[in-house]
A and B are shown apart, each in its own frame.
Chain A
């Protein structure tokens, strides 16, 4: 079954630490996204990509890097983690050319705590 898989599901790191969140999709979708979800803010787009090697900035990109190595794999990098980056992170994929359009298919989330 097509899916979006994230790892790790839970992570605790210290301020200034280095974190990589991984996402793999088996939907054969071109677009992949990283969102963060915080109480009172809803889902906010960090970065997205429309193919291997491509990266686009979203609405809240500061403090985050991302890399799309293959069509399937999209990584979110926090090189100097700060407590403000404590959040629930979601990866998603979509295929605008498909009849489902920009329906996003989400992973189960990665909870990051920065202490």
Chain B
């Protein structure tokens, strides 16, 4: 069964500094990765989706995927206090229905002004 682990558990950054989050997965056949953001007990919003090795940028959010290393990361450029939230990594084997989706527990990010 797919295992998805995120690190660090929590991260504090200053406004404007780069924030980097990590996600490792166990199923090397996975090819569908998404990063979600969750503000304080609210719903999740998708930030960036990536399906092949390399980099995918969506505004200030950039995902890097290295499937050989079973690793996907998220970098937040110029984070703002409004980016303070929990960030969740989601992994699935194909671009199929979400029943195959496995979520990490999340990284809590605090952006200090």
Contacts and interface: CB of A to CB of B under 8 A. Distances in A.
Interface string A11-36: 00000000000000000000101000
Contact of B99 (A40, A42, A56, A90): A56
Contacts, number: 65
Given A4-B43, A103-B49, A104-B46, A42 B105 contact: yes
B98 A94 contact: yes
B41 A102 contact: no
Interface residues of B, number: 23
A90 B41 contact: no
Contacts of B90: 104
Interface of A: 4, 31, 33, 40-43, 45, 48, 50, 56, 58, 88, 90, 92, 94, 96, 100-109, 111
B88 A43 contact: yes
A48 B42 contact: no
A104 B41 contact: no
